Structure 1
Amino acid sequence: MSAPTPHEPIPGTTIFDGRMAMKGYPLNKMCYSFNEAAARQEFLADEDAYCAKFGLTDEQKTAIKERNALALLAAGGNIYYLAKFIGMLGLNVQDIGAQQTGMTVEEFKAKLKAAGN
């Protein structure tokens, strides 16, 4: 069995691999907790304390405070767990796709539709 080959960089995309999974574990664990309404309420009542409860890094805390989805991905966030957080903000995965591509949400949706997605 051969060793895995490194991923080719994709402009504007953060590859979520084992290294990123380890880096993002506290962030993803916190985001997973947002499945529960009580957790969402606790977070919204005191974001700093809630982030500290999960041991987020300074990079992760800053990205949370700034509501910066791309920085959250770069800090090890997994889009499936981050969806719990961005959902609390009234955003969705298409909003993140638009951020990643530098498009408006409407432009991004049109691009998806044109591609048959």
Structure 2
Amino acid sequence: MDDKDASDRIPDTPLFDRKRSLAGYRINKMAMGLSKPENREAFRQDEGAYLDRFGLTPEEKEAVMSRNWREMVRLGGNLFFILKISAVDPVRITEIGAHQAGMDHADFLRDRLGKK
């Protein structure tokens, strides 16, 4: 990585590059499957069995089942894909942002979005 590339990095933010994309194939394929109503229902009924259909590793399964958004991204999850999970729960995108930032939701709304 040259100096220009290094200056474009955001500290503690995983770069979604080819390597991470390949590593996250299973988790992203699983998340995209949630676009279909029948898959959302299967996910609700037996989350573990649904995740097994996509061959997720134990580490990936734990990240999804605990809704550890930061870990899903670290494992190669593309945020646009893993947001499909929030359609099942549902989880507000600001809650996911707060989790990603390691902040309390109220603090995130106030400090990052200027909301009181």
TM-score in same-fold range (> 0.5): yes
Unaligned runs of 5+ in 2: none
CA contact (8 A) 2:73 2:79 kept: yes
Alpha-carbon spacing, 1:5–1:59, altered in 2? closer, same or farther (3 Å): same
Percent of residue pairs bearing the same amino acid type: 31
Match of 2:41 in 1: 41
Match of 1:59 in 2: 59
- Structure 1 segment 78-93 matched on structure 2, within 5 A: 78-93=78-93
How much is the aligned-residue C-alpha RMSD, in angstroms? 2.1
After TM superposition, the score normalised by the length of structure 2 is 0.81
Match of 2:105 in 1: 105
After TM superposition, the score normalised by the length of structure 1 is 0.81
Unaligned runs of 5+ in 1: none
What is the CA–CA distance in structure 2 between the aligned matches of 1:18 and 1:66, rounded to whole Å?
26
Cα deviation for residue 110 of structure 1 reads 2.5
What is the CA–CA distance in structure 1 between the aligned matches of 2:31 and 2:41, rounded to whole Å?
13
- Structure 1 segment 4-15 matched on structure 2, within 5 A: 5=5, 8=9, 10-11=11-12, 13-15=13-15
What is the CA–CA distance in structure 2 between the aligned matches of 1:15 and 1:99, rounded to whole Å?
18
